[in-house]
Structure 1
Amino acid sequence: MVAAPAWAGEDHVRGGQTVPVYSYEDAVRESVWVQTTLDNDRDGVPDKVAVDITRPRAKGKVPVILEASPYYSCCGRGNESELKQYDANGVITKQPLFYDNYFVPRGYAFVSADIAGTGRSTGCMDVGGREEVLSAKAVVDWLNGRAKATYADGTPAVATRWTNGRTGMIGKSWDGSVANGVAATGVEGLETIVPISAISSWYDYQRYNGVLRIEDYPEYLHRVVNGRPAGVCDAVVQGLDEGSDDATGDYNAYWAERDFRPDARKVRASVLIAHGLNDINVSTTQFARWWEGLRAPKKLWLPQQGHVDPFDIRRAEWVGTLHRWFDRWLQGLRNGVEREPAVTIETAPGTWAHERNWPAAAARTTRVALGDGNGATGTLGGRSTPGSRTWDDNPDLSEAAAVASPNAPVRGRVAFLSAPLTEPVRISGTPTVTLKVQVDKPTTELTARLVDYGTATRVNYLGRGEGITTLATESCWGASTAADDACYRDTAESTVTAGHAVLTRGWQDAAHHVSLRFVTPLRPGRWYSVTVPLQPTDQRIATGHVLGLIVQASDNEYSTPQSTGATIHLDLRGSALNLPLIGRLPTPGAAAPVVAATPASPNRVAPPRSRPLLPDGTGLRSQK
């Protein structure tokens, strides 16, 4: 028997969509604690998840929009870092973000959960692990009558009295990562997820193919969001330190527990992904690998910003998409959103296109040869040529110095340039660089960058707002109360005109060239083929511009380099750049073209390594 839609007998559906008819001011606001099956704080009592609810006073049962987060009391949500607020009795009065303001009047409940070990929940935060995921899953189970909860006074709280259990999870960054993890369990009742700039593999967030991003990172993240008294979670923190294994960079059982991609086939929920193509915090491999593994109905938004919510990029269009998406999958309204083009992508500042899939169907993997050029600056394209390059690991070499002058000798890097493009080309997918190298140490880190050399106005993703500027004006998205308004500072896209831009980056520890699960030390004097995967991207390069490949060893800006001081010899004929390409690179001349030296963007902020990272942004200041 097919269940009646959530809106049966109600009047909040008109013209095929939900409309605001319920009083937001008079909504039911309550707080409950959901019991889990875990006890990782080892106090002999099942861990409990604090859940705050805002729901309409509807006649029938309503679906739920759920955001499970570690940030509700430590760091805040959104561009304005909003925190939860409570009355004197501990009942929620203000929910962060606009989801409750906008959707509750339209016949949805909004539920926010403090994941285990954070906010008012018990248990211990295990940073992407089993406790984190199952604590949020327990909320979905409770909404569907499969778990127990109580109010603060200990009386039972029964969700099935007011909800039909149809749940959608949403969240940016860490919150979206939790949604991915819960969906990967295949839990019944989770109908859709909206992960924004989210993690699908915590190994890839804290490691770059064996390269350490920041030392003692899981412990740092635990400390930032921990809501438990001192000492309660010491055993869990010790487990984070030992399991993450900074010493080797190996992918092990600890990381496998925090890798949701192998279970993408279990995902029953539809998936709406949004991810900045220039996100250097939660890198683009996180969405790309997750996207390719999903078999459920799916949709993708790809702006050119960094770690920014689409609400702060293209606000009206994003809210409209969310509205129709939730109406379709939670309210059961046949509005056709799933039949629209699956991909919405920003091709240039303020210019958007719709496509059927991603990567673009016309993209073909093209092997681009590395040529000797003038013996200093090499060439891209044409036929392979004999030749070699030799450089020493220079961990102090900045990205700005490495890419700004491709024709000049720079210690610690080698450069290869295409001929000026005779037609525009597009890179859509995951580039890789295969390097045939000989190294005089047991390992070295290898870093590769693709650079567009040519003056253009581009989204300023390296600026302080990661591609947006916050304005003084406000706009309102839903109903308000005295305690919780629906108004948010407007934003504008931030751009910069410069002579070059880094399109994508990639890193690889050479001793992990066989497998990420173990180290295979290199033997001096022996040649090895090492592939450096770059971050997935989608970029267009204009006629007359030059495509550059910059290769160096360790990178002190985007990682914590384990520099070995190696000398690297590169055999050009055995090496190549592999591009998912639409269009053709022109055949290069005998020597690489001369590219004018250009300084780094004047709006560039401090590089990532100099700022404390959270999966919700580059430091507590950022776009949460």
Structure 2
Amino acid sequence: MRLTRIAPWIAALHIALAQPCLAKQVDSGVPGMIFDHDVPVAMTDGEQLRVNIYRPEKSGRYPVLMLMGPYGKDTSMADAPAYKTSWAKLMAKYPDLCKESSCRYLRFEAPDPERWVADGYIVIHADVRGAGASPGVLDPFSPRETEDYATLITWAARQAWSSGRVGLLGTSFHAINQYQVAALQPEGLAAILPWEGAFDPYREIAYYGGILNVAWEFWWTHQVVPNQNGNAQTPLFDSINGGTDTGVPLAADALQQNRVDPVEAFAQHPFDDAYYRERTPDASRIEVPLLDVANWTDWSTAGYRFAASKDKWLRIQTGDHLTPFYSDEALALQKRFFDHFLKGLDNGWEKEPRVAVQVRRPNGTVWRSAAAWPLPGTHWQRYYLDAANASMAPGLEHLAAARKSYAGLGDGLTFTTQPFSEETEFTGPIGVRLWVGSSTADMDIFAALRLIDPQGRDVTFVGNSDPNVPLDLGYLRVSHRAVDRTRSTPYELFHPHVASEPMTPGQLYPVDVEFTEPTSIVIPRGYRLALTIQGQDFGYGPNANIVHADDYALPDAHHSGLFFAAHPNRSATLYGGTNTVATGGEHRSYLLLPRIAHR
């Protein structure tokens, strides 16, 4: 059952909403802005979540922007150890940011209330259940948490200072839960703007290609648990009242019982089962206007592709996880969208191109608009792999059969094109079809599409959560190789991930590597593409021969992207065998690329 549960809580919702706003006004220090701090709002089970409300001093009814997250609605980015690096990046990129606002209310991955209230919006920031000042069990993205969000939205829509129209805004966590709650269709929800948020909790969060993503343990331990309600030892500082804002202290065993570790839960659910289905939005019920902002290196075009909304737009950008959200250009975009759908302003938004992509080059980017995604006129081109000479090229359907083996926990194989003779663009979803075998009953495939400059150096790009990433990354646990053709396209195959099919050692199998995101690159003359296939996380070592796409400065090196698989389920015995890639003859292996023709 997907996120459609209306009946179980609708009666309780009416009871929960029959309450006034119990404001606790605090001097905001910002002319024209009223600040209601730690306002309790009852949920359908009687638990009270705490929200901060920032609203114009001038009386009236205003549209509401809302977000709900686990990071601390009162935790300043500038002072929190967990956000020190993010804050430094933000200040380095926008040194004048705090001249346009006091930045006193700027929170991690959240809009700055000061810059919205001044334009006639109310901003509401809630601590999720079990985090900050909100008591209860901390269980990220759970059905209970989504139901709480729906209750808050309708509560806000019914307040005397509200116009009755609520929009959702935020990045990452604050984008993921927008999709979830939109599927519940709460009263008052009028538009959503998920900025770089995952849509599919199994394929985009818990498991990449069927391989457990343990990167979330760092997120959980360093960014979420410190702000757990009742955590008296939190290092996070309450920027409003001083001290901490995590409620009544709880004993260590009570804290443990009051939280659900997501990575532990993921490990207990290795397949796309009911656990994920009840956390996956029913896209057919997402009907509100939608602006999906995605990133080439993680999260996510899926919301745009699957939502039933008639009024929906997609932007795919490059860059890091946080700073683009706070740019002046981003703020202007966000305001145009919400001015149109929350205020009803005739500002020409409806004429905005449905798709806009930031096309990457080795020396910069350029924006391009389109009417649809994938881009109209895309030509899907196969680059056939040749294990005999580690090459790949188009038009080689009749290659002679060849095989090449590699150690499952080693550096793998790399297939490289000849230098491109003319400038060539590839923008869109990509795919890799391989014929593979192993000496063991399973193998993991980690694929990296790389750009190589004329000097033989890897050109890397700033990624969502990594300063140096290749063009794209793909994954597949071969025992999860089954494909649901009814849910697939020629360029994106859908793996149901509902069962494990062991390999027979020595036998070859056709597999389609799973890429969570598309790619974009304009390849100059003389540059080459390379496809690396290996059995461990791809990354650039400390002595890697790399240059950065923007400034050609060597960044720090480690695994690439938002994913890594260092986990006990990666048995060295099972996943450290001798793996083989077969090419040519009856075993055509290829890279599928979205070529964009330019007249």
% same residue: 23
State the partner residue of 1:362.
377
1:34-433 mapped onto 2 (5 Å cutoff): 34-38=41-45, 46-72=46-72, 76-77=76-77, 79-80=86-87, 94=105, 96=107, 99-145=112-158, 159=159, 161-203=160-202, 204-214=204-214, 217=217, 220=221, 223-228=225-230, 229=250, 230-232=252-254, 234-235=256-257, 237=259, 240=262, 243-245=265-267, 249-260=270-281, 263-278=282-297, 283=298, 286-296=299-309, 297-312=311-326, 315-348=327-360, 349=364, 351-372=366-387, 375-384=388-397, 385-395=399-409, 397=410, 412-433=411-432
In the TM superposition, structure 1's runs of 4+ consecutive aligned residues that sit over 6 Å from their partners are: 456-459
State the partner residue of 2:479.
511
Any conservation in 2 of the 1:125–1:222 contact (CA below 8 Å)?
no
Q: Given residue 370 of structure 2, which amino acid in structure 1 is its aligned partner?
A: E
State the partner residue of 1:442.
441
Q: 1:466 to 1:439 in 2, by over 3 A?
A: closer
Query: Matched residues in 1 for 2:68 and 2:521: separation?
Result: 33
Query: Matched residues in 1 for 2:578 and 2:401: separation?
Result: 17
Structure 1, residues 111-170: CA drift from partner, whole Å, max 9, x if none? 11111111111122212111222222211021133xxxxxxxxxxxxx2x1112201111
Query: Matched residues in 1 for 2:72 and 2:259: separation?
Result: 21
Q: CA deviation at 1:437?
A: 1.4
Structure 2 residue 571 is the aligned partner of structure 1 residue 549: no
What RMSD in Å do the two structures reach over aligned CA positions? 3.0
Q: 1:134 to 1:577 in 2, by over 3 A?
A: same
* Unaligned 5+ runs, structure 2: 1-28, 78-82, 91-102, 231-249, 483-495, 539-558
Q: What's the secondary structure of 2:117's corresponding residue?
A: helix
Query: Matched residues in 2 for 1:165 and 1:66: separation?
Result: 13
Query: Matched residues in 2 for 1:293 and 1:28: separation?
Result: 39
State the partner residue of 1:409.
none
Q: CA deviation at 1:460?
A: 4.5
> How many residues matched?
471
Any conservation in 1 of the 2:355–2:370 contact (CA below 8 Å)?
yes
Q: 1:522 to 1:75 in 2, by over 3 A?
A: farther
Structure 1 length normalisation: TM-score? 0.69
Structure 1, residues 521-560: CA drift from partner, whole Å, max 9, x if none? 1112322111102231222222322122111122273422
Structure 1, residues 285-311: CA drift from partner, whole Å, max 9, x if none? x31222210232222332221313424
* Unaligned 5+ runs, structure 1: 1-22, 39-45, 83-91, 146-158, 398-411, 468-500, 585-624
Q: Given residue 375 of structure 2, which amino acid in structure 1 is its aligned partner?
A: A
Query: Matched residues in 2 for 1:222 and 1:257: separation?
Result: 22
Q: CA deviation at 1:71?
A: 1.0
Q: CA deviation at 1:206?
A: 2.5
Query: Matched residues in 1 for 2:378 and 2:199: separation?
Result: 24
Q: 1:516 to 1:569 in 2, by over 3 A?
A: same
Q: Given residue 454 of structure 1, which amino acid in structure 2 is its aligned partner?
A: D
Query: Matched residues in 2 for 1:234 and 1:198: separation?
Result: 28
Q: What's the secondary structure of 1:443's corresponding residue?
A: coil
Q: Given residue 531 of structure 1, which amino acid in structure 2 is its aligned partner?
A: D
State the partner residue of 2:565.
560
Q: CA deviation at 1:54?
A: 1.1
Any conservation in 1 of the 2:444–2:536 contact (CA below 8 Å)?
yes
Structure 2 length normalisation: TM-score? 0.72
Any conservation in 2 of the 1:425–1:541 contact (CA below 8 Å)?
yes
Any conservation in 2 of the 1:127–1:222 contact (CA below 8 Å)?
no
Query: Matched residues in 2 for 1:185 and 1:393: separation?
Result: 48
Any conservation in 2 of the 1:74–1:224 contact (CA below 8 Å)?
no
Query: Matched residues in 2 for 1:579 and 1:460: separation?
Result: 19
Any conservation in 1 of the 2:438–2:506 contact (CA below 8 Å)?
yes
Q: Given residue 524 of structure 1, which amino acid in structure 2 is its aligned partner?
A: P
Q: Given residue 49 of structure 2, which amino acid in structure 1 is its aligned partner?
A: V
Q: Given residue 36 of structure 2, which amino acid in structure 1 is its aligned partner?
A: E
State the partner residue of 1:42.
none
Q: Given residue 416 of structure 2, which amino acid in structure 1 is its aligned partner?
A: L
Any conservation in 2 of the 1:422–1:544 contact (CA below 8 Å)?
yes
Q: Given residue 367 of structure 1, which amino acid in structure 2 is its aligned partner?
A: R
Q: 1:308 to 1:26 in 2, by over 3 A?
A: closer
Any conservation in 1 of the 2:381–2:593 contact (CA below 8 Å)?
yes
Any conservation in 2 of the 1:24–1:104 contact (CA below 8 Å)?
no
Q: Given residue 172 of structure 1, which amino acid in structure 2 is its aligned partner?
A: T
Any conservation in 2 of the 1:307–1:466 contact (CA below 8 Å)?
no
Q: 1:449 to 1:249 in 2, by over 3 A?
A: same
